[in-house]
């Protein structure tokens, strides 16, 4: 039975992936980790370790202690925080990744590390962005994502480390709030629709970005890890997407359920500059061909489920 170490396990992706992995592989086979500990079902339902991935010894000790087969490296500084703290973004996203890859090389582990649509830049073809195309991002987060893709491919080619990754679009979920990304508005709009009945959008109404509901993101990670490696022509990292929308479209979809919901705009120039450098939509045909990527949620289905689950969560508080 595979044994996993999830870094960043208390984050937006990690908190849901850890629980899904524990449901499929057994609680004791999924070690959650983070730079701090807090009350959470992730901490209470299975092994949890304090791991700062910028500390090689902490990564190495936990991998050896639990005889880990796969490291799912989710600890990262996202795009908006990365522009405010570029040095921290490099430390965590690159030096942290380097430590994870070195420990994986020394212990025979596989490594899943997410990349992002942020790995593309202003001169990348913006519509139906190809799997293989120019990648010259102009954000520190994007620089760490494209560098991370190259480093992971290098560790596969040079040392045979089984590295795999996907380029995630913006991720939308109701369990754990996102931690400082440019796409966070697409989560906050649902909370404000339910809690305030109004939302002030920080991005321009015509800002298209690819997005994905968290259940599809979790399946993408597990399906790629479980895929037959001999059939992969790409590894780091696959374009994956399930929808592309602008603030007007998500606003109007929510209004089908909450007709009195209102939205206005107060564009944040720093966020807008980042969003303007990213694609409008991705071509994810390589993921479909090589490991049968199959998203299940579109904007309509996501909105119905998100509002239902978020209402239950907020009423439980």
Contact string (CB under 6 A) for ligand VAH, positions 177-196, x = contact: -x--xxx-------------
At how many degrees (to 10) do helices 214-226 and 14-25 cross?
Answer: 50
At how many degrees (to 10) do helices 247-255 and 185-195 cross?
Answer: 30
Region 197-256 residues binding ligand VAH, contact defined as CB under 6 A? none
Please, which residue, 168 or 251, has the CB nearer to ligand VAH? Answer: 168
What is the SS3 assignment for 184? coil
If binding means CB under 6 A, how many residues of this protein chain bind ligand VAH?
Answer: 14
Please, which residue, 254 or 274, has the CB nearer to ligand VAH? Answer: 274
**Helix ranges (DSSP H) in 39-135:** 41-44, 56-66, 79-84, 86-90, 96-107
Region 113-172 residues binding ligand VAH, contact defined as CB under 6 A? 116-118, 141, 168-171
Which residue in the list 25, 56, 66, 141 is annotated as catalytic? 141
**Helix ranges (DSSP H) in 206-298:** 214-226, 247-255, 269-276, 285-291
Please, which residue, 77 or 194, has the CB nearer to ligand VAH? Answer: 77
Please, which residue, 68 or 80, has the CB nearer to ligand VAH? Answer: 80
Contact string (CB under 6 A) for ligand VAH, positions 76-105, x = contact: --xx--------------------------
- CA-based nearest residue to 15, from 226, 296, 238, 214: 214
Report the 10 Å Cβ neighbour count for 198.
Answer: 12
Q: How far is the CB of 117 from ligand VAH (least distance, A)?
A: 5
Q: How far is the CB of 278 from ligand VAH (least distance, A)?
A: 7
Closest residue by beta carbon to ligand VAH: 181
How many helices, marked H, and strands, marked E, lie in the chain? 13, 14
Distances (CA, A) of 12 to 26, 145, 288, 290: 21, 18, 25, 27
8 Å CB contact between 289 and 228: no
Q: How far is the CB of 26 from ligand VAH (least distance, A)?
A: 30
- CA-based nearest residue to 96, from 81, 108, 111, 79: 111
Q: How far is the CB of 56 from ligand VAH (least distance, A)?
A: 25
8 Å CB contact between 212 and 172: yes
Please, which residue, 63 or 119, has the CB nearer to ligand VAH? Answer: 119
Q: How far is the CB of 183 from ligand VAH (least distance, A)?
A: 4
Residue 141 known to be catalytic: yes
Q: Which residues bind ligand VAH (CB under 6 A)?
A: 78-79, 116-118, 141, 168-171, 178, 181-183
The residues annotated with a catalytic role in the active site are 141
């Amino acid at each position: 039975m595979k044994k996993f170490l999830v870094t960043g396990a208390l984050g937006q992706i990690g908190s849901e992936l850890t629980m899904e992995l524990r449901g499929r592989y057994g609680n004791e086979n999924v070690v959650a980790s983070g730079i701090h500990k807090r009350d959470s079902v992730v901490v209470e339902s299975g092994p949890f370790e304090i791991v700062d991935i910028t500390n090689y010894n902490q990564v190495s000790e936990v991998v050896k202690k639990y005889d880990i087969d796969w490291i799912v490296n989710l600890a990262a500084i996202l795009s908006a925080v990365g522009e405010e703290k570029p040095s921290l973004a490099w430390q965590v996203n690159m030096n942290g990744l380097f430590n994870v890859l070195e420990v994986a090389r020394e212990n025979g582990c596989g490594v899943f590390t997410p990349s992002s649509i942020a790995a593309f830049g202003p001169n990348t073809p913006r519509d139906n962005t190809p799997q293989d195309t120019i990648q010259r991002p102009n954000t520190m987060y994007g620089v760490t994502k494209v560098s991370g893709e190259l480093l992971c491919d290098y560790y596969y080619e040079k040392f045979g480390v089984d590295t795999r990754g996907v380029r995630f679009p913006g991720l939308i979920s109701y369990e754990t709030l996102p931690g400082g990304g440019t796409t966070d508005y697409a989560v906050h709009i649902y909370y404000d629709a339910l809690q305030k009945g109004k939302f002030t959008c920080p991005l321009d109404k015509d800002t298209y970005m690819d997005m994905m509901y968290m259940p599809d993101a979790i399946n993408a990670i597990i399906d790629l890890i479980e895929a037959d490696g001999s059939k992969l022509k790409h590894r780091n990292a696959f374009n994956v997407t399930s929808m592309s929308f602008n603030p007007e479209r998500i606003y109007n979809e929510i209004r089908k359920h909450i007709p009195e919901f209102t939205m206005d705009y107060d564009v944040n120039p720093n966020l807008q500059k980042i969003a303007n450098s990213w694609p409008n939509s991705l071509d994810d045909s390589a993921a479909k061909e090589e490991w049968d990527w199959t998203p299940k949620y579109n904007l309509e289905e996501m909105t119905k489920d998100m509002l239902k689950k978020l209402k239950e969560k907020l009423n439980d508080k």
